[in-house]
Amino acid sequence: MDIEIPPPGEARDIIPGLRWMRFPLPFPPNHVNAWLLEYEAGGVNAPPKWLAIDTGVANDETRGHWHTALTGAAFGGGVLGRLLVTHFHPDHAGLMGWLSETHGVTPEMTRIEWLTSRAVWYDTGTDMLQQQAEFARIAGAPEAYSAYLLRRGALYAKAVAPLPRTFRAIADGETLTIGGRKWRVMTGQGHAPDMACLFCEEEKVLIAADQVLPRITPYVGLHAGEPDGDPLGGFLSTIDRFRVLPEDTLVLPSHGEPFTGLHARLDALANHHAERLDALDDAIGVPKTAHDLLPVLFRRPLDDRSLGFALGETLAHLRRLEHTGRAWRRFRADGVVLWERR
Give the pLDDT confidence score for residue 171 in this predicted structure: 98
Strand, coil or helix: what is 12? strand
Nearest Cα to Cα of residue 185 among 260, 120, 241, 247: 241
Nearest Cα to Cα of residue 161 among 98, 104, 91: 98
Q: What is the CA radius of gyration of the chain?
A: 21
Give the H or E element holding residue 167: none
Between CA 238 and CA 197 the distance in angstroms is 11
Confidence tier at 288 by pLDDT (50, 70, 90): very high
Give the pLDDT confidence score for residue 1 in this predicted structure: 65
Q: Each residue of 34-93: pLDDT tens digit?
A: 999 999 987 778 899 999 999 999 999 999 999 999 999 999 999 999 999 999 999 999
Cβ–Cβ < 8 Å for 192, 137:
no
Cβ–Cβ < 8 Å for 80, 99:
yes
Between CA 241 and CA 81 the distance in angstroms is 31
Give the pLDDT confidence score for residue 43 in this predicted structure: 75
Between CA 125 and CA 81 the distance in angstroms is 36
Give the contacts of 303 (CB within 8 A, at least 6 positions apart).
none
Architecture in CATH of 12-341: 4-Layer Sandwich (3.60)
